[in-house]
């Protein structure tokens, strides 16, 4: 079985709202067997351009788990807060 990943490229607009969002996300991940792999800030763009300075990587047991998490009412209820707090590109990937 291959894992799936959610990668968020982030530009924080309001740090207090972002902190609130970040505090609420883990409880939405737990039912889907997801775990935070990495959270960090960009040091340099070694090739090309990236308009977002922060990143998060979350591992899920499957693509189905990613889709279940993203469409869950628990996570959907956080999207308005996320949109106020930050500009984010949220992508899903599957190991090959």
Could you give the CA distance from residue 65 to residue 5 in angstroms, rounded to a whole number?
A: 10
Confidence band (pLDDT; 50, 70, 90) for 92?
very high
- Is 52 a residue whose pLDDT tops 90? yes
Q: Evaluate if residue 70 carries a pLDDT over 80.
A: yes
Q: How far is the C-alpha of 83 from the C-alpha of 36, rounded, in Å? A: 20
Q: What is this structure's pTM?
A: 0.93
Question: Is 91:19 a contact under the CB 8 Å cutoff?
Answer: no
What residue spans define the domains of the chain?
A: 4-94
pLDDT of residue 23: 97
| Position 95 pLDDT exceeds 80 | yes
Which phi and psi angles does 77 have, rounded to 5°?
Answer: -70, -20
Residue 81: burial class (beta carbons within 10 Å; 0-12, 13-18, 19+): middle
Q: Which fold has domain 4-94?
A: Alpha-Beta Plaits (3.30.70)
Over residues 23-42, mean pLDDT:
97
């Amino acid at each position: 079985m291959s894992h799936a990943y959610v990668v968020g490229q982030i530009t924080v607009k309001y740090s207090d709202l972002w902190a609130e969002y970040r505090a609420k996300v883990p409880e939405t991940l737990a039912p889907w067997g997801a775990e935070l792999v990495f959270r960090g800030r960009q040091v340099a763009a070694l090739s090309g351009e990236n308009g977002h300075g922060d990143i998060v990587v979350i591992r899920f047991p499957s693509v189905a788990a990613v889709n279940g998490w993203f469409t869950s009412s628990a996570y959907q209820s956080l999207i308005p807060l996320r949109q106020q707090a930050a500009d984010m590109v949220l992508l899903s990937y599957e190991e090959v």
